[in-house]
Amino acid sequence: MNKAFDIVILGAGPAGTTCVLALKDSGLSIALIDKESFPRDKPCGDAIPGPCIKILKKVTENEQDLFNGLTKSADISNSHIYPAKGKKINIAWKAQAFNATRADFDNYLLNLVKSTTKTTVIEDFQVNNVAVEDKVIVTERSGTKVLTCDLLIAGDGTNSVVKRKMFSGTAHKGLNGYAIRSYYENVSCNANTNEFYLLDEFPGYFWIFPLTKNIYNVGVGLLNPTSEQAKSVNIKTSMQDVIENHPFISEKFKNASSIAKIQGFKLPLGGKDTSLTADHIMLTGDAAHLIDPLQGHGIDKAMESGVLAAKQAEICFKNKRFDSASMTIYQNAVETNIVKELRRNLWVMRFLFKFPFILRMAAWLAQHNPATVLGIFYRKRKNQVV
């Protein structure tokens, strides 16, 4: 099979599918390819923050039918942050947010692409090689399937084939965190509240996120992986020890049982300068290192980068230019709308781990003036889309 397209988008996760939806009226021929067949699992915290919903409403036409058929928990209206010492910080979200397994959410996004666009969707396409001549040549592992395009948009995740092959020398410069997650049932938690615990046991956080049918996503994220403490942590052992022995958390798991094996995943943290374009190529989502280093979420950033890549793609075809120098609009837009915030959050994250008493002070302030704390830890645009 040899097929030519204007655009090939590699990776059918949130970045790739959102990019396709944003290009639905462009008139360009687009192929969306993924190495797996959907629905497929994707280890994650399963939290879908408010900006994801706002982005999706902007790139879809049938807003009133949005999320119909999506299995999800009750809408998440609160987050509780528990410092290692001191009282919890309560955050009440005004914007809509929810939790859903990535198998469910990503499959829902892909079905939106299939039902509302003319995109050629190719699943089980294992990319073996990417080369750039006059066009981009994408070769499948068997060698029998070859796609060509003028523009390749890579949203193929943490271990991006495109970044590894086409961005040599920069592929491993980004900062990576690490996380694990499992699923439990019968955890004693509110069905509409995400809980975060900052503990002395490791330089990161422990989370409990409710899903539907009394199932909870439970995990640990190490967001300061360069610290000496992180290097000495056995993350799986630490997670189990917290569940069994922590004086407060263990009570929540008294009647709980694990229903899935623990799975680990890298967190390509944002906040460092990185090149997102090469001739005929753009990086999006996790491939572009856009996970928030303070809170560990990246779905909203991935979707936002997909929209920005779509805007750049239309400019490229209008001007008939696909060299890296012509894609500075995308590089600058990601820097302004996403990386600037992530760079600040990277500084805050490191500052808090260096001076943990600051967070305890914030917890004390939260009991008196929650708005002050929100102003410190959350930008006004947190539940907005630029």
Contact 239, 204 (CB under 8 A): no
Distances (CA, A) of 226 to 40, 78, 175, 340: 31, 31, 9, 21
CA 148: distance to chain centroid? 28
**pLDDT value, residue 369:** 52
All structural domains of the chain, each given as residue ranges with its CATH number in brackets, are 2-174+268-377 (3.50.50.60)
- The string of pLDDT tens digits covering residues 252-267 is 999 999 999 999 999 9
- The Cα 368–Cα 305 span in angstroms is 37
DSSP string, 335-355: IIIIIHHHHHHHHHHHHHHH-
* Cis peptide, bond prior to residue 247, ω within 30 of zero: no
The whole-angstrom separation of Cα 161 and Cα 287 is 9
Q: What is the pLDDT of residues 120-153, one digit of tens each?
A: 999 999 999 999 999 999 999 988 889 999 999 9
Look over the chain and give the mean of its residue pLDDT values, rounded to a whole number.
87
Encode the chain (386 residues) as per-residue pLDDT tens digits.
789 999 999 999 999 999 999 999 999 999 999 999 999 999 999 999 989 999 999 999 766 677 776 777 778 999 998 887 767 888 888 888 899 999 999 999 999 999 999 999 999 999 999 999 999 999 999 888 899 999 999 999 999 999 998 987 654 467 888 899 999 999 999 999 999 998 877 777 899 999 988 999 999 988 766 655 556 678 899 899 999 999 999 999 999 999 999 999 999 999 888 899 999 999 999 999 999 988 888 999 999 999 999 999 999 999 999 999 999 999 999 999 999 999 998 888 777 767 666 666 655 555 555 444 445 444 444 443 32
Please state whether beta strands 2-10 and 204-210 pair in parallel, antiparallel, or not at all (unpaired).
Answer: unpaired
CA proximity to 180, closest of 211, 151, 136, 217: 217
DSSP 66: T
Give strand ranges (E) for 57-101.
Answer: 78-82, 89-92, 98-99
What pLDDT does 173 receive? 62
Q: Are the C-beta atoms of 151 and 10 separated by less than 8 Å?
A: no
Both structure tokens of 169? 């020398």
